[in-house]
Amino acid sequence: MNAFQYASAHSPDEAVTLAGKNGLYLGGGIDLLNLMKDYIQTPDMLVDVKKVSIVAPDGAGHHLPATITVAEIAAHPDLKKAFPGLSEAAGEVGSPQIRNVATLAGNLLQHSRCWYYRQPDIVCLKRGGDMCHAQEGENKYHSLFTGCSCVSPVVSNLSVILTALDAQVVVKRGGKQQTMTMAELYHEAWVNPAAHHSLDPQDFLLGVTVPGKRMRSAYRQQSEKREFDWALVSCAAAGNVTGGVITDARVALGAVAPVPYVVDEANQFLEGKALTEENVSQAADIILKDAKPLEHNGYKVPLAKTLIRRTLLALNT
């Protein structure tokens, strides 16, 4: 790990000023410190933002500050009632010890878990190299869909459910406050193999606002281990259900693309339909029709189909 300076900020403006051109923000530090130990990130300054005071924006919806811990999201009674899928997704993050420290911002903005990216002795496409080693290498955990030559998938649990809930991210950028959709937050990773998300290092994530327009939500994931493991595939679904019929449907997949993967055609197909086995299976087929499995990750297609079915059917309960 390279030498660095440390400072603590109490406001977003102070955090941005202290970080300067080669500083990084420190919340829980779960991912960042590992990246620094492997010399993947080499900041001159770490700015502790855990004490940053953030004012919630005006408007409807639940606002989650960037520094709220994953454990607080999982346990919050109002969030459990309003957005059960969000509570479920938070409860699947890491271990209790990690959830007690990890923050919302850190979960959303974490770097790729691809072993080629994480290996200090390999310079992959995401780190400025000239090839994606996973394309022809060990790709068991990689993407089924991508808009660029990198096949590393997004691994944030919270990004998937927040996409299904149409959440918006509030960011301090260039001295101004800006609102982004979840799709905008991750779009750059879809088209740029070097990107993990669309934010620049100096951009400061203030929080996430979740509208209350979808009254039902659910999250499911499948991992190799029952506890404390990354998702092989994850699925989030949200909508309004009356008499078994869904409206305002939204389905998102995680760990299958560089972004939380959404197919509008499937959401439109579900609109106004009963949540039957036949309908949810057809929606799953629509979502997965353009999948392009690699040599070792073809198992993700049937796994994703099963999770889509289970997650959508869970909205009936």
Provide the residue ranges of all domains of the chain, joining segments of one domain with +: 1-53, 62-110+165-210, 216-314
> Per residue in 97-123, pLDDT tens?
999 999 999 999 999 999 999 998 899
- The CATH number for 1-53, chosen from 3.40.50.1220, 3.10.105.10, 3.30.43.10, 3.30.420.40, is 3.30.43.10
Fold of the domain built from segment(s) 62-110+165-210: 3.30.465
Does residue 56 surpass a pLDDT of 80?
no
Q: What is the pLDDT of residues 69-95, one digit of tens each?
A: 999 999 999 999 999 999 999 999 999
Class of domain 216-314: alpha beta
pLDDT over 90 percentage in the chain:
93
Q: Answer whether 1-53 and 216-314 agree in fold.
A: no
Rounded to two decimals, the pTM is 0.96
Q: pLDDT of 222-270, one tens digit each?
A: 999 988 899 999 999 999 999 999 999 999 999 999 999 999 999 999 9
Which pLDDT band holds residue 61 (cuts at 50, 70, 90)? Answer: confident
Query: 204 - beta bridge partners?
Result: 172
Closest CA to 246 of 214, 219, 220: 214
The whole-number pLDDT of residue 253 equals 98
Q: What is the pLDDT of residue 60?
A: 63
Cβ neighbours of residue 254 closer than 8 Å, sequence gap 6 or more: 153, 154, 155, 156, 157, 159, 160, 221, 231, 233, 234, 235, 236, 260, 261
